[in-house]
Amino acid sequence: MGDRVEPAPRPRIVLASGSPRRRELLDQLGLRFEVRPADIDESVLDGEEPRTYVARLSREKAAAVDAGAGVLVIAADTTVDVDGTILGKPADDAEARAMLMAMSGRRHHVHTGLTVRIDDRSATSVTTTAVDVVAIDDALASWYVATREPFDKAGGYAIQGAGGVLVAAVEGSVSNVIGLPLATLSALARELGVRLP
């Protein structure tokens, strides 16, 4: 019998995001990590497509965190795309309601740009999930806005929370809609020689 090869130790991990949803998803994998949110300008550039936008922001977030040598940095940005229009986080009740009505009774796409980096090596990918939303009337919109759930969520809803009642169907990764596509994360980390989990 040959000698048993011990797996390489997992590097320290830094999550370049303050998102509670992303923290919860990494916790579900049993990973130990440090949270160090990246502070960057998240403005959309003129003519920038949604997928290009989230890929760029994830790369910029990963680059903005000085984590030290040999540390795996995980950075992500998620946006909701309705016919090419980027829906960010609503600023007030009126904007939250407008976003819900824009998605009512139709399909939209959720894109997450994800970058993992160790030292000067990095890998980036964009994961897209299609989401079909039920027809939303005034009463349903008013109820959901009153939950206050929309206000720190791209697109103004949370599939993992009360907003799940708005979702008729999902085609693709559910964890992507929450904000961190776990299968993509695992694949990108493997490209850099790290196994997660």
The closest alpha carbon to 174, from 191, 156, 161, 188, belongs to: 161
Q: What is the largest CA-CA distance in the chain?
A: 69
87: enclosing H helix or E strand: strand 85-87
* Torsion angles phi and psi, residue 54, rounded to 5: -70, -35
**Number of helices followed by number of strands (H, E) in the chain:** 6, 7
CB 143 within 8 A of CB 152: no
**Which sequence positions are flagged as catalytic?**
77
- Give the chain's domains with CATH numbers: 13-191 (3.90.950.10)
* CB of 21 closer than 8 Å to CB of 78: no
Confidence (pLDDT) at 5: 44
Q: What is the predicted pLDDT for the residue at 10?
A: 82
Going residue by residue through the chain, which has 197 residues, state the pLDDT in tens, using 9 for 90 and above.
555 544 557 899 999 999 999 999 999 999 999 999 999 999 999 999 999 999 999 999 999 998 999 999 999 999 999 999 999 999 999 999 999 999 999 999 999 999 999 999 999 999 999 999 999 999 999 999 999 999 989 999 999 999 999 999 999 999 999 999 999 999 999 999 999 98
pTM over 0.85? The answer is yes
